[in-house]
Amino acid sequence: MEKKIFTLTKSDIEIYEKKIKNFLPDHIIDSHVHLWLKEHILFKEVKPNNSFNDFDAFQQYSFEEFSDNSSEIFQDKKYTGIFFGNPLGQIDIEKVNKYILKLADTGEYCLYIPSPEDKLEGDTFNKIKGFKNFLGFKPYPSLAKKENNEVSIHEFLNEYVLDYANSKGLFILLHLPRKKRLADHRNIEEVKYLTKKYPDVKFLLAHLGRSYCLGDISEAVEQVSKIENLFFEISFVNDWEIFELVIKKIGCKRIIFGSDMPVSLMKGKNICINDNHYFVTEKLFSWSISNNDMQLNFTFFLYEQIREFIKALNKLGLCKDAVLEDVFYGNIKKLIDRLV
Ligand SMILES: [Zn+2]
């Protein structure tokens, strides 16, 4: 049965007004927004294991839905995005790239999803690459179609894509594979290798390397902190301790705001128990923890993320307009301006 995901309550508005609005700059660029339409879905899972393939929860997410939602939850702000498709295997990637192509034509910033064997010779890519607001690529581990995403980065991000991105100085928004995420030494070695071999690519590490638990990043961060063409995108992380660590080790100039909409519009929060990450959500899904017998009053994952980021800045004495302006706008804008 379809569940309505997006609801804006009085208590959400209060959180925004009191804890968020005045900290954020007037213009926010969200570096991580997924879009797709119902007709791009190839098949549905009987029991989804992930919010992005739960098409009962999220049937589709169009640009119009993004515009409506973002203007409601970030009132009085100009909120723009970097857009790309839903990259899961249940989606027709060619069709969703075509949808993104149409959006590129309207002037929005876009990324193209390359399949693992993509030689960048197809029609859609040839058209999208002509737009100055085309910023690069969003490769994705599950497109390599191996159990549990236990693949190397090279298995879903090929040399054609890397060479092209390097020749134009484009972005690659990198979603790390493997169960251990950033803590997997093979991922670290591959990130070091790729950032060195392709120095003109701007690598954005999605979700801080999928570090939803402190243990995912606490030791690994030292090994990647000095890589100049690696940027740290914070979508869906909502733990102030992780932010504190990253701010201390990386500084605020290479931290980039992203939301991972639409899933961050769910009501809930990540929790880590025994070093494992779980979604706790207001409504129960097959991939989350909840309790239908309780009167839960949650707010958006996205608000939790921003609140925790502000909390980390406060603890470090860095909660200043200039810093927030950098993370939510300036850092990514500077990178974009170097391309277009
Ligand atoms: Zn995402």
* pLDDT at 3 (0 to 100): 55
Give 293 Cα–ligand 1 centroid separation in angstroms.
31
Give 236 Cα–ligand 1 centroid separation in angstroms.
8
Give 260 Cα–ligand 1 centroid separation in angstroms.
5
Give 317 Cα–ligand 1 centroid separation in angstroms.
30
CA distances from 20 to 24, 67, 130, 280, 322 (A): 7, 19, 37, 22, 15
* pLDDT at 58 (0 to 100): 84
Q: Are strands 276-281 and 268-273 parallel, antiparallel or unpaired?
A: antiparallel
CA distances from 313 to 71, 137, 247 (A): 25, 30, 8
Residue ranges of the chain with per-residue pLDDT less than 50:
1-2
Give 160 Cα–ligand 1 centroid separation in angstroms.
23
* pLDDT at 44 (0 to 100): 83
* pLDDT at 147 (0 to 100): 78
Owning domain of residue 23 = 10-266+301-339
Look at residue 2 and tell me if it is in a domain: no
Q: Which residue type sits at 88?
A: L
Look at residue 185 and tell me if it is in a domain: yes
Look at residue 81 and tell me if it is in a domain: yes
Q: What are the beta bridge partners of residue 84?
A: 34
Give 264 Cα–ligand 1 centroid separation in angstroms.
10
Look at residue 287 and tell me if it is in a domain: no
Give 258 Cα–ligand 1 centroid separation in angstroms.
9
Cis bond leading into 262, ω under 30°? yes
Q: What is the CATH number of the domain that holds 87?
A: 3.20.20.140
Question: CB within 8 A of 132, min separation 6: which ones?
Answer: 340
Q: What angle do CA 147, 148, 152 make, to 5 degrees?
A: 85
User: What pTM, to 2 d.p., does this model score?
Assistant: 0.95
- Half-sphere exposure of 206 toward its Cβ, with a 13 Å CA cutoff? 20
Give 314 Cα–ligand 1 centroid separation in angstroms.
27
* pLDDT at 229 (0 to 100): 97
Look at residue 274 and tell me if it is in a domain: no
Count of Cβ atoms closer than 10 Å to residue 85 Cβ: 27
Give 31 Cα–ligand 1 centroid separation in angstroms.
10
* pLDDT at 59 (0 to 100): 87
Give 175 Cα–ligand 1 centroid separation in angstroms.
8
Give 33 Cα–ligand 1 centroid separation in angstroms.
7
Look at residue 183 and tell me if it is in a domain: yes
* pLDDT at 1 (0 to 100): 39
Look at residue 277 and tell me if it is in a domain: no
* pLDDT at 315 (0 to 100): 97
* pLDDT at 145 (0 to 100): 84
Q: How many distinct structural domains can be found in the chain? A: 1
Give 112 Cα–ligand 1 centroid separation in angstroms.
13
Look at residue 100 and tell me if it is in a domain: yes
Give 138 Cα–ligand 1 centroid separation in angstroms.
9
Number of residues that this document lists for the chain: 340
Give tens-digit pLDDT for 81-103.
999 999 988 899 999 999 999 99
Give 42 Cα–ligand 1 centroid separation in angstroms.
19
Give tens-digit pLDDT for 185-228.
999 999 999 999 999 999 999 999 999 999 999 999 999 999 99
* pLDDT at 292 (0 to 100): 87
Long-range contacts (CB closer than 8 Å, 24 or more residues apart) made by 52-60: 52/86, 52/88, 52/263, 53/88, 53/89, 53/90, 54/285, 54/286, 54/287, 55/90, 56/1, 56/2, 56/3, 57/3, 57/5, 57/266, 57/285, 58/5, 58/262, 58/263, 59/2, 60/36
